[in-house]
């Protein structure tokens, strides 16, 4: 996946580090895959490893800053229900600091490491991963905050506005119409992580997980989060139906043990898995710009543009709660 440089003026970085009492000599930018939403630097404060993140503030309306404050509040709300990162206060005692054109935060390095593709199929990890997702939904269902977070309509507009592929735009519009018809009662709709693939988890030596990247949390259907967990793995296992079936059955069972999503909302998972794969193509196209798409991306695009049911999701029909 291409590396995307995030350009932040050096004086802004220095001011952010100073606000949090970080020695600039310890700061090193991280090379981040995909399309990251800010500059992240590894650093040290008071002898401990930490990460300083600078995120752009695109306008003066205050909406983005309010959203990021809700992300911090959500993280604190989830603490105790699941493992989450720990925000460290600035020298002024604030968890977010405004610097020119950006907002900065500092988080402690969480224990553990990312798992690789093989480990992500280990049944024990799959159960912990899906169970963590279920606990997130159980916790956010009781949360009264989050009014400044984005919702599914913002997500639709964001990816529609930058789309230059007419066929993908039409597919995205059609999915928007279908998802807009889904009910938004609190039994099936609320604040979701919105990107809990296995790369957004750290696994500690004792097996415990830490959830990363709540920055894209939004108001969405809970089934969307479950579809995100399933869709990418099922795509990668499309030529291994037995493994795909076991993965899906293990994940759904562990998720429902923590959050009993109503059957009528579970029935939306195949639609929302197509939604997720379509969004993935749009995001990768936006990142590539005028560069040619690699073969793997062309394959996903062809699959989501085919009006027939996605073959990679066919195994869901064999998973009892989703059948």
The answer to whether residues 171 and 274 belong to one domain is yes
The answer to whether residues 98 and 179 belong to one domain is no
The answer to whether residues 157 and 206 belong to one domain is yes
Q: 1 in a domain, yes or no? A: no
Residue 96 predicted with pLDDT over 80: yes
Domains of the chain: total: 2
- Output the six-digit token pair for 4: 């995307």
Per-residue pLDDT averaged across 1-6, rounded? 43
The answer to whether residues 89 and 140 belong to one domain is no
The answer to whether residues 135 and 70 belong to one domain is no
- Domain of 154 in residue numbering reads as 119-322
Residue 30 predicted with pLDDT over 90: no
Examine the fold and report which residue of 108, 139, 166 is the final residue of a domain before the chain moves on: 108
Does 34 or 219 have the greater pLDDT score? Answer: 219
Q: 48 in a domain, yes or no? A: yes
The answer to whether residues 51 and 168 belong to one domain is no
CATH number at residue 35: 3.30.200.20
Picking from 197, 86, 194, 78, the residue whose alpha carbon sits closest to that of residue 138 is: 78
Task: Report how far apart the first and last C-alpha atoms of the chain are (Å, whole number).
Answer: 34
The answer to whether residues 100 and 217 belong to one domain is no
Torsion (CA) 277, 224, 148, 104 in degrees, nearest 10: -60
Q: 4 in a domain, yes or no? A: no
Examine the fold and report which residue of 43, 77, 108 is the final residue of a domain before the chain moves on: 108
Q: 182 in a domain, yes or no? A: yes
What pLDDT score was predicted for residue 1?
33
- Output the six-digit token pair for 58: 């695109």
What pLDDT score was predicted for residue 3?
40
Residue 5 predicted with pLDDT over 90: no
Per-residue pLDDT averaged across 96-115, rounded? 95
Q: 113 in a domain, yes or no? A: no
Residue 32: pLDDT band (50, 70, 90) is low
Sign of the alpha-carbon dihedral angle for 162, 168, 169, 172? negative
The answer to whether residues 172 and 305 belong to one domain is yes
CATH number at residue 233: 3.90.1200.10
The answer to whether residues 92 and 146 belong to one domain is no
Residue 14 predicted with pLDDT over 60: yes
The answer to whether residues 49 and 172 belong to one domain is no
The answer to whether residues 140 and 288 belong to one domain is yes
The answer to whether residues 128 and 88 belong to one domain is no
What pTM does this model have? 0.94
Residue 38: pLDDT band (50, 70, 90) is confident
Q: What is the mean pLDDT of the chain?
A: 94
User: CB atoms < 10 A from the CB of 78, how many?
Assistant: 22
Examine the fold and report which residue of 84, 108, 132 is the final residue of a domain before the chain moves on: 108
């Amino acid at each position: 996946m291409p590396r995307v440089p995030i350009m932040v003026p050096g004086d802004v970085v220095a001011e952010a580090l100073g606000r949090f009492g970080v020695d600039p000599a310890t700061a090193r930018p991280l090379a981040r895959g995909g399309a990251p939403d800010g500059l992240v630097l590894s650093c040290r404060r008071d002898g401990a490893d930490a990460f300083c993140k600078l995120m752009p503030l695109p306008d003066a309306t205050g909406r983005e800053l309010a959203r990021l404050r809700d992300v911090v509040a959500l993280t604190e709300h989830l603490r105790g229900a699941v493992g989450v990162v720990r925000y460290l206060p600035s020298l002024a005692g604030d968890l977010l600091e405004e610097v020119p054109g950006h907002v900065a935060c500092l988080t402690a390095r969480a224990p553990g490491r990312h798992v690789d593709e093989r480990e992500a199929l280990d049944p024990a990890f799959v159960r912990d991963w899906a169970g963590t997702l279920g606990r997130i939904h159980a916790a956010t269902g009781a949360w009264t905050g989050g009014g400044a977070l984005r919702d599914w309509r913002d997500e639709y507009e964001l990816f529609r506005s930058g789309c230059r592929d007419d066929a993908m735009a039409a597919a995205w519009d059609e999915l928007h119409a279908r998802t807009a018809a889904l009910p938004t009662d609190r039994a099936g709709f609320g604040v979701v992580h919105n990107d809990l693939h296995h790369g957004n988890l750290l696994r500690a030596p004792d097996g415990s997980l830490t959830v990363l990247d709540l920055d894209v949390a939004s108001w969405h259907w809970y089934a969307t989060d479950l579809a995100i967990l399933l869709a990418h793995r099922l795509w990668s296992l499309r030529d291994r139906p037995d493994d795909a079936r076991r993965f899906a059955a293990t994940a759904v069972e562990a998720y429902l043990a923590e959050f009993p999503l109503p059957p009528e909302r579970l029935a939306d998972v195949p639609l929302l898995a197509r939604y997720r794969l379509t969004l993935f193509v749009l995001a990768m196209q936006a990142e590539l710009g005028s560069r040619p798409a690699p073969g793997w991306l062309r394959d996903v695009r062809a699959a989501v543009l085919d009006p027939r049911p996605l073959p990679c999701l066919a195994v869901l029909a064999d998973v009892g709660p989703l059948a």
